[in-house]
Amino acid sequence: MTSKVYDFSAIDIKGQSVALSSFKGKVLLIVNTASKCGLTPQYEGLEKLYKEKNGQGLEILGFPCNQFAGQEPGDSDGIGQFCQLNYGVTFQMFEKVKVNGDDAHDLFKFLRAEAKGLLGSEKIKWNFTKFLINQDGTVLKRYAPTDKPEKIAKDIEKLLA
């Protein structure tokens, strides 16, 4: 049975396969994102957090998803350009994935099972749900879509200390 985030791989926004084991020893914040969502401005806070903490060992992994009200309709090129142009995103972005359902990406099936949501639900409720993973690949916590990156910073700082 898979027990660590490092057992997965995903296709990045440029079409290259990325083994998550390449992030061993880092604190990870994995986020399902969308470009046309009321929460899209969180890209700004995520990028700020990434710039402040990347040198200390934080990696942010963004996974666009179109499962919530069709709020990520673009292709990888369009998504990448949007993130760069509007929010200066430099953290790792991946190809669009599904986060719920039988055809969800295996990484998100794992994350949902490891860090359940409200009332024990595994289903991801909306864009910008965030998962915090420690340096050994263990999923520690799920954050609600409305939890701003600034709020999560304290938990990340504790892991980086």
Is 20 a member of any domain?
no
Mean pLDDT of the chain: 94
Residue 34 has a CB neighbour count (10 Å cut-off) of 27
Contact 52, 128 (CB under 8 A): no
Q: What is the pLDDT of residue 126?
A: 95
Contact 6, 112 (CB under 8 A): no
Is 145 a member of any domain?
yes
Q: What is the CATH number of the domain that holds 93?
A: 3.40.30.10
Read off the pLDDT of each residue in 87-114 and give the average, rounded to a whole number: 95
> Given 37, 93, 97, 111, which residue is catalytic?
37
104 has pLDDT over 70: yes
Give the domain range for residue 106. Answer: 29-160
Is 3 a member of any domain?
no
Is 146 a member of any domain?
yes
Alpha-carbon span 116 to 121, nearest angstrom? 6
DSSP 76-103: HHHHHHHHHHHH---SEEB-----SSTT
Is 18 a member of any domain?
no
142 has pLDDT over 60: yes
Read off the pLDDT of each residue in 127-142 and give the average, rounded to a whole number: 96
Residue 117: pLDDT band (50, 70, 90) is confident
Cα-atom radius of gyration of the chain, to the nearest Å? 14
Residue 70 has a CB neighbour count (10 Å cut-off) of 9
15 has pLDDT over 80: yes
Is 37 catalytic? The answer is yes
Q: What is the pLDDT of residue 120?
A: 79
